[in-house]
């Protein structure tokens, strides 16, 4: 078995030795960015940006699982924490919810708003 693995590895090395090391197989060649870590100005700008994307949203814990009725609602799993905000115009039964990249309506009765 070790002979087969060594033979395969040697064949792979021979096959790839003629290729440019700057192309990883995609459309664009790989170009390393030198000095990225040392760029204090860039690091300062990145640290000052709100990366959460959840401004106006509050955290809420899901009390029990919920299956969405249609494409406008989110499926909820018991004990997961999601982000919610009031609907515009306000709705007495639903809130706007955000689960990662997904957004949709969630029933208020299934949520416990968390204090931050």
pTM for the model stands at 0.53
Domain extent listing, the chain: 58-113
pLDDT for the residue numbered 37: 52
CATH architecture, range 58-113: Roll (2.30)
Q: What is the pLDDT of residues 75-109, one digit of tens each?
A: 999 999 999 999 988 899 999 999 999 999 999 99
pLDDT for the residue numbered 9: 62
Confidence band, pLDDT 50/70/90 cuts, at residue 49: very low
B/e letters for 31-48, b = 16+ CB within 10 Å, e = fewer, are eeeeeeeeeeeeeeeeee
Q: What are phi and psi of 48, to 5 degrees?
A: -85, -10
Mean pLDDT computed over every residue of the chain: 75
Burial class, 57, CB count within 10 angstroms (exposed 0-12 / middle 13-18 / buried 19+): middle
pLDDT for the residue numbered 45: 47
């Amino acid at each position: 078995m070790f002979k087969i693995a060594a033979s395969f590895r040697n064949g792979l090395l021979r096959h790839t030795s003629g290729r440019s090391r700057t192309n990883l197989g995609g459309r664009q060649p790989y170009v390393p960015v030198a000095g990225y870590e040392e760029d204090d100005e860039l690091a300062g700008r990145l640290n000052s940006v709100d990366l959460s994307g959840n401004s106006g949203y509050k955290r809420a814990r899901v009390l029990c699982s919920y299956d969405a009725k249609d494409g406008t609602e989110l499926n909820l799993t018991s004990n997961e924490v999601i982000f919610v905000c009031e609907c515009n115009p306000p709705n007495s039964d639903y809130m706007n919810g955000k689960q990662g990249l997904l957004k949709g309506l969630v029933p208020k009765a299934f949520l416990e708003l968390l204090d931050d």
